[in-house]
């Protein structure tokens, strides 16, 4: 799709989106509630009439220019939405074979059973939807969408009604099937971890626009702005001015040579970026970094640290340390930074005033 705009009355829900999904590629639309993900998916599906821009499937073979509407059933797309209802009077197998017109019955059954098998639902082929849990119904809806071998799968929060343990397995199975079938997939989620797991590329959206598009690694390791950093988890925010190519912070100098001297900078430090080591003795003088509180979260420990910089400034920070690491309250510590988890941006006031 290119240059897609969409408004509901005076509300501009999608504001100029360009997006491509290659065959076999999984692209996740990620972003906070109300940023326009579902609207974009519904436009691709033909459930919303295109207002501005263009949508095409397979290199323009089924182009949908502005002013013309191609209904969902005429597009070669498979839809599985959060609330995709199964036909209650049809069995699981009949639900999946429903869209397979023009093929001999044994072939339809074979294909449907194959997909149900891959999604762990073959044993329920003769069951009816009311006999299934929400998660099982979602898997059947997915098999039904995949059965006609669409060019593009459109999935809206397909794992949202599953509990955490089941979700991991079904995500795994779904990704496996999508890759095997080789359809391009556009998947909507608001969960960054889900997007990182499922996506070849993520389009992170805010207020109707794509803020950054790239592989999970590109977005996580090279975020283009503070919104992208914060979307992937909690961060410690420190501020300072660029002097001699660095910003001085209470946890040491952070390189910022690409910013002009004197620029006010926002330093974003992931809790994982802080390496904490205990000191036997407090350092000389009476101001030193120390632990305020330590909590075990399971696979990691969360430390609340009061950091004192060489410049006398103080900051309260969260550090996340793998495993069980629970120093006592008041324990003096040294803090080291992993620079790959620290990001520097000109502070908003600087950008606004520029
Ligand atoms: P969520 O994650 O909560 O589903 P989203 O990113 O999918 O959010 P959309 O559902 O695309 O967001 O909605 C984008 C904006 O458009 C929101 O402000 C929403 O309230 C508005 N909106 C969506 N559908 C309609 C509609 N049919 N009529 C009016 N406004 C709508």
Instruction: Determine which residue's CA is closest to atom 21 belonging to ligand 1.
Output: 13
Same domain, 94 and 188: yes
**Same domain, yes or no: 194 and 312:** no
pLDDT in tens, 168-180: 888 888 899 899 8
190 lines ligand 1 (CB under 6 A): yes
Among 175, 200, 229, give the residue marking a domain's end: 229
Q: Is the beta carbon of 11 within 6 A of some atom in ligand 1?
A: yes
User: Which of 152, 143, 145 is closest to 173 using CA atoms?
Assistant: 143
Quick one: DSSP state of residue 85?
P
Given 193, 208, 229, which residue is the final one in a domain?
A: 229
Domain boundary among 202, 229, 256: 229
Task: Tell me, in angstroms, the distance from the centre of ligand 1 to residue 18's CA.
Answer: 19
Domain identity same for 216 and 86: yes
pTM: 0.88
Q: Give the CATH number of the domain where residue 183 resides.
A: 3.40.50.300
Mean pLDDT of the chain: 89
- Residue 318 domain boundaries: 234-353
Mean pLDDT of 302-311: 89
Whole-number Cα distances in Å, 64 to 29, 33, 56, 105, 154: 21, 27, 6, 33, 17
Do 238 and 203 lie in one domain? The reply is: no
Ligand 1 center–CA 34 separation, angstroms: 5
* Pocket test residue of 10, 13, 204 for ligand 1, highest count of atoms within 8 A of CB: 13
- Residue with tokens 């309260």, as numbered in its chain: 316
Answer whether residue 217 shows pLDDT above 60. yes
Q: What is the pLDDT of residue 353?
A: 43
97 and 185, same domain (yes or no): yes
Q: In Å, what is the CA distance from 194 to each residue of 69, 74, 190, 191, 300? A: 32, 30, 8, 5, 20
| CB hemisphere CA count around 252 (13 angstroms) | 13
Q: Report the pLDDT averaged over residues 58-78.
A: 64
Is the shortest distance between the CB of 292 and ligand 1 below 6 Å?
A: no
Instruction: Indicate whether 22 and 105 sit together in one domain.
Output: yes
In this structure, are 220 and 266 located in the same domain? no
Residue 210 alpha carbon to ligand 1 centre in Å: 15
Q: From ligand 1's centre to the CA of 134, what distance in Å?
A: 24
CB 185 within 8 A of CB 152: yes
pLDDT in tens, 3-49: 999 999 999 999 999 999 999 999 999 999 999 999 999 999 888 98
Do 232 and 195 contact (CB within 8 A), yes or no?
no
Decide: 38 in ligand 1 pocket, CB within 6 A: yes
Binding site membership of 39 for ligand 1 (Cβ less than 6 Å): yes
Look at residue 286 in the predicted model and tell me its pLDDT.
59
pLDDT top residue among 250 and 318: 318
Nearest protein CA to atom 17 of ligand 1, as residue: 34
* CA nearest neighbour of 259 among 246, 249, 240: 246
CB 303 within 8 A of CB 318: yes
Does 289 lie in the same domain as 262? yes
C-alpha 275 – ligand 1 centre gap (Å): 41
SS3 call for 135:
helix
State how far Cα 136 lies from the chain centre. Answer: 23
Could you report the per-residue pLDDT of 182-201, keeping only the tens digit for each? 889 999 999 999 999 999 99
CB of 33 closer than 6 angstroms to any ligand 1 atom: yes
Comparing 203 with 57, which gets the higher pLDDT? 203
pLDDT exceeds cutoff 90 at 257: no
ipTM over 0.85: yes
């Amino acid at each position: 799709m290119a240059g897609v705009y969409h408004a509901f009355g005076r509300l501009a829900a999608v504001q100029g989106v360009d997006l491509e999904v290659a065959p076999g590629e999984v692209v996740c639309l990620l972003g906070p509630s109300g940023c326009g993900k579902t609207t974009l998916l519904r436009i691709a599906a033909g459930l919303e009439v295109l207002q501005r821009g263009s949508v095409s499937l397979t290199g323009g073979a089924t182009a949908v220019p502005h002013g013309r509407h191609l209904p969902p059933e005429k597009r070669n797309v498979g839809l599985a939405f959060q609330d995709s209802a199964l036909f209650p009077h049809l069995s699981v197998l009949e639900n999946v074979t429903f869209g397979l017109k023009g093929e001999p019955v044994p072939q339809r059954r074979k294909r449907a059973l194959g997909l149900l098998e891959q999604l762990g639902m073959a044993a329920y082929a003769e069951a009816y939807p009311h006999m299934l849990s929400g998660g099982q119904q979602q898997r059947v809806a997915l098999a039904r969408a995949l059965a006609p071998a669409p060019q593009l799968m459109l999935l809206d929060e397909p794992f949202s009604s599953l509990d955490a343990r089941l979700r991991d397995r079904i995500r795994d199975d779904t990704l496996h099937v999508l890759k095997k079938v080789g359809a391009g997939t556009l998947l909507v989620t608001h969960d960054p971890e889900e997007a990182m797991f499922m996506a070849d590329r993520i389009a992170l959206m805010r207020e109707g626009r794509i803020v950054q598009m790239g592989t999970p690694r590109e977005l996580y390791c090279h975020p283009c702005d503070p919104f992208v950093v914060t979307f992937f988890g909690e961060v410690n925010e420190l501020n300072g001015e660029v002097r001699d190519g660095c910003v001085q912070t209470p946890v040491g100098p952070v390189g910022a040579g690409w910013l002009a001297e004197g620029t006010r900078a926002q330093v974003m430090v992931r809790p994982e970026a802080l390496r904490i080591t205990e000191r036997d003795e407090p350092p000389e003088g009476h101001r030193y970094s120390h632990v305020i509180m330590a909590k075990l979260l399971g696979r990691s420990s969360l430390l609340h640290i009061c950091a004192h910089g060489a410049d006398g400034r103080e900051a309260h920070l969260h550090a996340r340390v793998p495993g069980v690491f629970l120093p006592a309250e008041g324990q003096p510590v040294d803090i080291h930074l992993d620079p790959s988890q620290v990001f520097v941006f000109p502070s908003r006031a600087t950008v606004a005033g520029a």
